[in-house]
Structures are given as C-alpha cells and as structure tokens.
Amino acid sequence: MKTHELFIDGAYAPAASGKTFAKISPVDGRQISVVHEALAEDVDRAVRAARAALEGPWGRMPLQQRTNLLLDLARAIERRAPDFVEAEIQDTGHTRHFSETIEIPRGAANFEIFANLLKNVGGEFFPMDTPDGKGAVNMELHRPKGVIAVISPWNAPFLLMTWKVGPALACGNTVIVKPSEESPATAALLGEVMNEVGIPKGVYNVIHGFGPGSAGELLTQHPGVDGITFTGETRTGEAIMKQAAVGLRDVSFELGGKNPGLIFADCDMDKAIEVTMRSAFANCGQVCLGTERLYVERPIFAEFVARLKAGAEALKPGGPDDPGTTLGPLISEEHRRKVLSYYDKARELGAQVVTGGGVPHFGDSRDQGFFIQPTIWTGLEEDSALIREEIFGPCCHIRPFDTEEEAIRLANDTRYGLAATVLTENLSRAHRVGRRLEAGLIWVNSWFLRDLRTSFGGSKSSGIGREGGAHSLEFYTERSNLCVKL
C-alpha cells in the first residue's frame, strides 16, 4: 500500500509524532494509502527549511536561472504525466480523460506561464526634478513576499495547487503546501520531480494533515509564514483570516460560490444545454465555478428543463478506467452525506424532483464508493437553504423569469460572487447583463474557458484578491519605491 510521507527540505520523512491516517478510494471505499499527519514539530521544521532556502540559494538565484528551472519543471511534469494522472485519479476518482487532458497539463502550464511572465515584467520609473537641478529617479522594485502557506482543495488537487505554487516560486518565494487530506498524492509526487530538476531543497515543502488542531491550523498560525493563499469553503477562509490578522500577514482567498446561470429565450438551445450540462454536473458538481442556480426565461422554461433532465439521465456513473464514464463519484462518504442531506431537505421543502435525488446502485464494488445521482429541482423559494447555500454536488435548481431586470436581481441576490454564466445570442444583452452581474468571472455562451493571463477571484463572500497573470504579482511580491538622488 502506498505511503505518503512529508516532504521537507528536499527529502521525504515520516511525521515526528508517527501519526498517520487512511486515504479511502471514492470509487470503491477501500483504503488506498497511508498518510503521515504533520503536527507542530513538523510544521516548524518545514517553515525553517523554507526560510533557509529563501535566505540561501533560491533567494540569491538570478531570475533567468530561477525561471529556467521552472520551465524544466514544467517539461518534467509532462514527461511524468502518466504518474501524475494515476496519482490524481486514485485519490479523486476523476475520469482518466479529465486528468489527462485538463488537470495535469494545466498543472504543468501553471509553471510555464508564470516563468515566462516573470521574464517580461517591468516596473514603474519616474524621473523627478530637485531644487539643486540635478534631479532624482524613482524606481519600483519587486521582491518576494517570503514564505507562503499554500492550502489547496481536493476537487482539482494538482491544478489548483500548482495555480498557487507556480507564481509563488516564479516570484522567488518558498512554499509550504498543505494539500487536502482527501488528495495528498500529487502534491507529494511533485516533491520528487522538484528534486529531479534541481530545485534547491527547502523551496517546496509538503505537509499532510487536517484543518483545525492539525497541520492546516498549525501552519496558518505559524509566525514564520509571511502570506497565506487558500482555496476552499468561506467559513474556513474566515477562520484563516482571523489567524492571519496576528502579524498582519497577507491573504489571498478563493472561497465558496452559489453561481447563477441565466438562460434567455434567444439562446442557442443546443449550446445552452451543452454548457449547462458541464457547468452543473462536471466533476460530479465538485467545481467552485459550477452553476447550482439556473434562471430560464419563461417561454423556453419547459423545453430547457426537459432537455437538461434527459442530459442528466444520460450521464453514466463509473470509475476512472471505464471509457464510458461521464460522472465520477463524490470525494468522500462525509461529503456524500452532506450532499444527500440537501437532497432530503429539498423533498421536505416540497421541491419538484425533476430527476435524481438519491444514490445509484451497481451490484458491484462501486456500491461501496461514494456515487450519487445527478439531481434537478424546481419549485423552491429563493430563501430556501438549497438556493442560498453551496451544496457542491451534481445538482441544480431551475426557476423561470420574465424580464431581464428580474433575472439580474435573482442572480445577484446572494452573499456569494464567484462566477456566473449568461446564455444569449443577443450581443447587446450579453454586454448589458454581464456588466451588472456581481461576480469575479462571467461567461457568455461558454463555461470554464479562461486565459491564464487574466485575473481570477471572487467578490463578496467568495474571496479576497485576484490571481492570474500579472495580477499574481500583487500577492506574491512586495513592492518598494527606490528613490535615487542624482
């Protein structure tokens, strides 16, 4: 059975306490690995290793050499792609196609794009007059923020972890990664590849464990951490922010969402169904950018509901190696209990269950896994828990609307502001509605399509800050003004 030790100062090692926990396969419920849990001594050792690398060879390394190493790392990930794919699908149950075509390639691209970006980043330069006539110049300097805590989620583990580690290292920081306890494998494997390409020890560290009272909380509380970047639930982000207030440390958060999809009567219906099938059910609904609230203009409401129902019922649940699989499992039994509690609540509130609402049965080992039926509801009030709270499963509620103003009001009536989709063939409406939606990322006639150079992040309770392209410099660097008198 696979064992995932901690990766600290360039070497794998067991947790000092000897504590471990089991990683369970979401596909069939069997134990697939043993994971070492980091506690205070391990976290402190990782912080000290990261600080030493920052003050040592990594911190003194010329930009060209540093970015070349990251480009080497991207190529090495591509060469080792089968190993990363295998590690990812074992932990998550994702389809092999999704990991091979999106997750792992995007992970490699996260290092490449930020390495190339840093080679071309300039700074402000302002000459100024002085009373003696000799003048002065003001120059903007960028320097690493320091030791960065990277706390990454389980729904797209490698992609979302490297989305943070890539720019952090490109900017010259060192990192301590705390992957989710549900998805430790690819973060651990990356340490091996870091060593292969010659990244100095201590630059990249991995500690495993849980949140409160474990590795996560110990890391965010550690005074040697200079910045914290986190993707996950809003409630956890609020707790981390309180801890980061001690020492006034910077945070970058991408948090929860309850994202709306607006489908207008002038949409291309085939396109609208294709986009919504992905936005509502991709990765078994475990996508922070997914649409759990759908608002459909009344003239096409019945047709849209019927066609989305047919699409949901055509999804085929199964494991990663079944080429026919179009719907994987939820990540854990605990998460399935949470999602099923919302399925139960919908029935209690009198929702019309258009399709789904339960657990599929296979008659084989998959019945021990954490599969769930894709589910569609109608008929709920906007103040119900299913409309207000993030469920993070393969489900959505559909409500009709009559006017553009009503659709915008419904879409914005949420504490969250991560993403939104608009389906319309009217270009003027696309611009008009898109500008009024309160979300960090708004798609028109598409979903999950984004240039990595653009900003990414949420508004309201969906996050703080923006990352992506040059926007990542705002978090991963400190800026100083150097004023030189001539």
Q: Catalytic residue among 171, 288, 395, 396, which?
A: 288
Which has the closest alpha carbon to 60: 144, 118, 147? Answer: 144
Rounded CA gap, 330 and 372, in Å?
7
Query: Which residue among the candidates 5, 37, 182, 254 is catalytic per the annotation?
Result: 254
Copy the structure tokens of residue 50: 């990261």
Alpha-carbon span 123 to 470, nearest angstrom:
12
288 a catalytic residue: yes
Give the alpha-carbon dihedral of 86, 92, 95, 99, to 10 degrees: -60
Strands across the sheet containing 174-178:
11-13, 6-8, 204-206, 174-178, 147-151, 227-231, 250-254, 463-464
Looking at this protein, which amino acid is placed at residue 310? A
- The C-alpha atoms of residue 24 and residue 182 are separated, in whole angstroms, by 8
Return the C-alpha torsion angle 93, 96, 97, 98, nearest 10. 40
Euclidean distance between CA atoms 150 and 205, whole angstroms: 10
Phi, psi for residue 231 in degrees, rounded to 5: -120, 125
Which of 83, 113, 122, 121 minimizes the C-alpha distance to 100? Answer: 83
Closest CA to 111 of 465, 449, 475, 472: 472
Residue pair 240/36 in contact (Cβ under 8 Å)? The answer is no
Do the strands 259-263 and 419-423 form a parallel or antiparallel pair, or are they unpaired? parallel
How crowded is the C-beta side of 311, counted as CA atoms within 13 Å?
23
Residue 245: other Cβ atoms inside 10 A: 10
Residues annotated as catalytic (active site), given as ranges: 254, 288
